[in-house]
Amino acid sequence: MDLNGKLEHIFILILENNLINKKMKNIKINYLRNSLLFGLIILINSSCERDLSDEARNATFSKTAEIFTDGPVAMGTNFYFPYGPDANNPVGSKFSAWSIDENVSYKGNASMRFDVPNSNDPQGNYAGGILRIDGAGRDLTGFDVLTFWAKASQGVTVGEIGFGEDFYPNKYMTTMTNVSLGTAWTKYIIPIPDASKLLNEKGMFRYSAGTQGTNGAGYTFWIDELKFEKLGTILPLQASIMNGNNITRSTFVGVKSSVTGVLASFNMPNGINQSVNISPAFLNFTSSNTSVATVNDSGVVTPISAGTAVITATFNGQPANGSLIINCTGTYNNAPTPTLNPANVISIFSDVYSNVPVNYYNGYWQPWQTTLSSDFSVLGDNVLGYTNFNFVGIEFSNPTVNANSMTHIHLDAFIPGPIAPGRQLRVLVVDFGANGVFGGGDDTRHSTTFTATTSTPVVSQNWISIEIPFSAMPTLASRSHLAQIILEGGDNSILYLDNIYFHN
């Protein structure tokens, strides 16, 4: 099998050589010789490895270095993909931001031109996207940097320039942030964190440029001679995970966490230390306790039993700064699954019903709120997780909820930590009144208090299913414009909430 594969490989190369010979008959003889030499070298190398006892070797891909010289190089037909809409950019990148400029070039007769739009451009308020090979990927193992020449229409800082993004799975991304461009052509070097992993890459280039630094005014920058190179003058220094911090995460069996905040720094040929944001997959991960949590080669951590495991990483053989400490409290105990008919429910948060529009599940109300959000999902069950809980507000005011046909509010609460005697949990329901907005003198609310002694007792380590009839909320004057649910009575410990809805 192995032998067959290799022979076939050699055979194809010979065929290609013959093909080149025929194609180039009318061209300079030197080219012909070079191509023949190339063929021979590969043939000899391959021939030396034809022993049956050899390990199987993976197929290799094109080692082409150039991405753009005077035009895209071996990129195929459909290779430019602008970024689509996201939470911060409802329109996405302006589609026409990228073009080939045949009037401007560092070398040759064309460059890539990026027209960053004004921040109020209706066709897109920034420029960003990827160049992805339309076809087979490339083998980048022989390179150590991505280089290009660039200049801009004015001095400007471009947010992100890098490579490795292919939209799926984006396994090996590298990004240089805040790239300062001047008005004269300058060479830029982005180190490849570990080229030995880049056997088949399609994401050749990525960029994202906005107008945050230009008061919303658009500008143009050009990139030319974009290619991978082997410089040999880049010294890898240290990497860090979790931005160099030791981050503790409380979690459950099966709830996956990802290593994030991965940076690597390199000493460049000009003596400057250059830091780049990189994908976790460039590092090698270790779990201190694989019976508690395992970690895969992309830094995704899977807890498998109760206990503590520390996830650390190495880069270039050196330990990376920072760690992810997984405190697994065991198997997650799901909240009772709601059984009411959806027609009888107005849902604020559940996986069973369609939720009404919710402004937020944590208003971070200043100055007194300490509660932070750490929402999580266990095998498809989404849960609101609150840490440092003292109080928290959930708002659904756009539009407000008319619950006149409803009779109760329901929510499930879970307190994983111990409960001090007398610990209260208060549930406030707020109506914004006829004006439908906060304040204005017509807001009303009712607070219901639960303690260890109430009929729905506050307990630890068990779901507390809270049911409050509107009839028991005398100070809530109306439920035509319900807009907030507030939880109070925290002792700065952890609270989970699930299945929040009004029903009849």
Q: What is the largest CA-CA distance in the chain?
A: 97
Element containing residue 327 per DSSP (H, E): strand 323-328
Sign of the alpha-carbon torsion through 341, 342, 343, 346: positive
Q: Which is nearer to another protein, 234 or 477 (CB)?
A: 234
Whole-angstrom Cα distance, residue 425 to residue 117? 51
Cis amide prior to 193 (ω within 30 degrees): no
Listing DSSP states for 41-74 in one string gives: HHHHHHHHT--TTSPP-----B---EEESSSB-S
How far is the CA of 161 from the CAs of 165, 214, 221, 418, in angstroms?
A: 11, 18, 12, 49
To another protein, the closest distance from the beta carbon of 43 in angstroms equals 7
What is the identity of the amino acid at 276?
V
Q: How far is the CB of 410 from another protein (least distance, A)?
A: 57
Instruction: Provide, rounded to whole angstroms, the least separation between the CB of residue 40 and another protein.
Output: 5
Cα–Cα distance measured from residue 166 to residue 226, given in angstroms and rounded to the nearest whole number: 17
CB contact burial 222-238 (16+ within 10 A = b; e otherwise) = bbbbbbbeeeeebebeb
- Let me know how many helices (H) and strands (E) the chain has, helices first: 2, 31
Residue type, 422: G
Beta bridge pairs of residue 300: 258
Q: Apex CA 120: angle with CA 116 and CA 121, to 5°? A: 55
Closer to another protein by Cβ: residue 218 or 236: 236
127 near 115, Cβ under 8 Å? Answer: yes
Structure tokens at 373: 């959000």
**Cβ count near 159 (within 10 Å):** 19
Buried b (16+ CB within 10 A) or exposed e, 317-339: eeebbbbbbbebbeebeebeebe
Tell me how far, at minimum, the Cβ of 25 lies from another protein, in Å.
15
Q: How far is the CB of 135 from another protein (least distance, A)?
A: 29
Minimum distance, C-beta of residue 37 to another protein, in the bound complex (Å): 4
Q: Minimal distance in Å, beta carbon 34 to another protein?
A: 7
CB of 230 to another protein, least distance (A): 7
CB 10 to another protein: min, Å = 10
Q: Rule CB under 8 A: which residues touch another protein?
A: 14, 33-34, 36-37, 39-40, 43, 230-233, 235, 267, 269-273
Report the nearest approach of another protein to the CB of residue 139 (Å).
20
User: From the CB of 238, what's the least distance to another protein, in Å?
Assistant: 10
Q: Does 357 sit behind a cis peptide bond, omega within 30 degrees of 0 on the bond before it?
A: no
Q: Look at the chain and count its residues.
A: 504
Q: Measured between alpha carbons, how far is 325 from 293 in angstroms, rounded to an integer? A: 10
Q: How is residue 153 written in tokens?
A: 């229409």
